[in-house]
Structure 1
Amino acid sequence: MSTPAPDFDQQLTGSPPPPPTPAASPGPTHAQPDWSDAADDEDFFLAQVRQHFQHCSGPHRNRILADLLNMCTTQQLSFVHQFVSPLLKKDPFTSLPDELCLRILSFIDDPKVLARASQVSRRWRDLLSDDVTWKNLCVKHDYGRRLSEVAYGVPAYTPNRPGALPISDPDFTNRSFPGALPCSSASGAPRSFDNTTNSTVFGRPKLRSYKSHFKQRYLVESAWRTGGRNTTRTITQDGRVVTSLHLTPRYIVVALDNARIHIFDRDGNALRTLQGHIMGVWAMVPWDDVLVSGGCDRDVRVWDMANGHCLHTLRGHTSTVRCLKMSDANTAISGSRDTTLRVWDIRTGVCRNVLVGHQASVRCLEIKGDIVVSGSYDATAKIWSISEGRCLHTLSGHFSQIYAIAFDGLRVVTGSLDTSVRVWDAHTGVTSLQFDDTRVVSGGSDGRVKVWDVKTGQPVRELITAESVWRVVFEDEKSQLLVWPVHALTQILGAKIST
């Protein structure tokens, strides 16, 4: 018996149909005999038969049934089959212990099947309300929680609510990503998704069940595939080039090459225009109601978007400010075509530090905690300590300008005009690797090429040491390395090196 799935299960399309829905538990409705033509004394006779059958032993009952069935026609046997089959059905979840039932349910990966199964009976629904099942499903679908959910859009804490687990559960630590909003303000108060202090979160953390979390993530993923609508509207009337765009929980912020910055509400209605730059604005970053911008006039400006006032004009760069990021509510970092990065205190308007090391324009940067990574037209990326004001690593390997960079706290990803995207280890600088079923060969800016065992993760040997390794490729019997300043060919089996 098929049962309809909940609304959120119907959002995802393009996937194979789920397995058949489990049949409902047997109810009182099954094949019944027709008493319309029964004689007056038939009920009295059957009462005597029932009384006799009730007092019979097991073997005696079997003989009576066998004798009666042997006398039945095919049609009558079919009626017996229809009458008996529902009585023989048994719901295994009514007799198995909860732990075993939940273990069985843990092997189901399709949320549609689980949602439909919860409609089979109250017992099934109670089992599928256990949050551990949905927690495991969140893990399987990689629906990890983010710290922004602690104070944004989650129900209030209820101590005795069944299935409620803390969002700070260690199995769902924050999945950091480039541009993620910090989870605390300068005052130490928790922040909501829009990065504003939320006083309602003091005292104890808000909780959310894994089932509701999975449903929300499932709906969001489904909407990305098939939902939403396309709305086209022209909101800038300047007719100029848009150089930078940001969408915040409150504003749409647009910078143009005519030195103006327009602020709109989320529906695209104009709120105000920020004027103060005298040349094109090429970089900006919002934080709450604060906006930091920079451009061709070499200035970095700090704005209050609520009233449109310029709070500070930060001067020091000698060329166009090309990129901007903020590490916290008080600290902004700018990258310029003058090859430097500058660390600013936007409360006081003071430059805390100047990071020097690039040989060409700084095109992009990203921040996580005390670490900032920058990409430059000199084809290198650098990893800096903000507090120490020094370069920790130089990532060399690209052959052309670096235009894009991402950083998650562990890995640096750089995109270059040389058509390659490179993934780097932020702590060691590993720059290139290749792997097959048994081994990994890695090379880095430290000039070391290592062979690793895939199964154990342990190093097998070190092949070569050079000034810097840019590229590693290998076949079954040979590895070829592109190193600086020479090309080296390494024969793995014979360990023969020729230049």
Structure 2
Amino acid sequence: MSSSTIYIPVLSPPTPAASPGPDTDGFPAIPVALPHNPALRQQYLASLLHSLTPGELLFVSTTIAPLLKRDFIADLPTELALMVLACIDEPRTLARASRVSRRWKAMVADESVWRGLCIHIGFGSRLRPRPRDPDDEPLEEMEQFAPYLMDPAQQWLAAKRRRPKPSDPPPPTFSYYQHFKQSYRTMMNWRTGGTLLRAHRMNPTPPPPNAQQALNSIDVITSVALDADWVVVGLANSKIHVFSSRTGVLARTLVGHDAGVWGVCLVARGGSWVGDRTEPVGGEGIPAMWRTPLGLDLPAGEKTTPLPFPGKRSSPCSASDGWGQPNALVVSGGCDKVLRVWDVRSGYPIHVLSGHTSTIRCLRMLHNRPLAVTGSRDSTLRVWDVQRGRMVRVMAGHSGSVRCLDVCGNRAVSGSYDATCRVWDVDTGECMHVLRGHFHQIYSVAFDGVRIASGGLDTTVRVWDALTGQCLALLQGHTALVCQLQLSPSLPTTPHPAPILVTGGSDGRVITSSGPLPDLATQARILSLLAADTRWWRSMVVLCVFF
């Protein structure tokens, strides 16, 4: 019996229905024939827009606006994009452009853009020719010797010159962007920089009734001294104004000089005596009402603070620390040849000191000691005890008018029209050094106890060693009289402490020099002060330089 297979037909399961697709009735599509007919496309879109509500039109507008924007800087070739950016002459516009995208930032950072901007604003292109290597052969000069054979010695010398030299570190790459950044920051600091501490509005002065009074009322400022409490202003009309530093109110007008005031110094109240008191604190003959303001009735004490070396340098603001007196004092001198000591609180003169035979041209006070040093057109310097009201000594040696002086500790440095500087010991009157090197009159000196800077009519600045009198550096850069100098101590945060010298000239330039001596001459750097118009700056005279 044979087996047989029986096949039973089975129906396949039904195919599931397809998922419903998106309802296209709500999205009217452009007919197929329209893509090939621009006119019909525009007609269709116009009819579609007319059927939209205001809200839908706003949605379409905000959607289309980004689609119409085009990054032309990214689409243009690099050369054309740089030419477009080079046409921008506003630094702020370039700064904003660098924040658009990474592509724009890379294009704005190109050196050619900032080089053109440096030239446009006047910061200089800083294109420097390659320094000539001393081992380079002067080919043009050697062409005439080409037909001649070299002897063995010359061949050996030529081969030695061609030997490779030890690899020197490559010079730092110059960046026009960094140069522009520093120059622009300096320019803006000079225009709008600094912090306004206080602003005071003064009442207008009524005009004088006649010409003679108008001539006598000329209030040309000749000298200024200030500290945290007072601002003292010396005027060419023989008056001295004392203002409050906190309120700006005119507190006192010191009247007593018979001619213009050329120098004022402010002595702060309080403090302590520094140095040895070689003489008793007497002051016979001084009225009792002035003994307390001068500190004459203070206990003398046997112990005093020793005078440090090199001592405390004078303040550029013509202010000095007191020796313990309760009131602030003003010391002034001018064309009437006398030195006057004033009590700021009362406004009365305490001492009138005579001795000079010509105009007192410069004046300095020592810190924490009642000693004033004056320089006069009679070619002498004099040391005064402003506490007891007497002249201590005369320091003679100059053959011309003493135009400027500076003090540090018990040392004084004077500059004269005889083209020399002299270093003096204030306590003994000894001339320690005579500094010769200038060719014309000296108008400014600065002294920090270690080094001396001097400038004058020969347009140069010389830096001297205060201990040896040796000239350490000769700085050039001014084209006219160097009328102001300031020496600043090095910043403690700098990795290589070095002094900073700032010079101001009648050519309108302010030049800073820094660096370890004696390499100061190679570190001179002219600040970019010729801001908008160099002709305007050159017409200005730098009258004061303060730190």
TM-score, normalisation: structure 1: 0.41
User: Is the radius of gyration larger for structure 1 or structure 2?
Assistant: 2
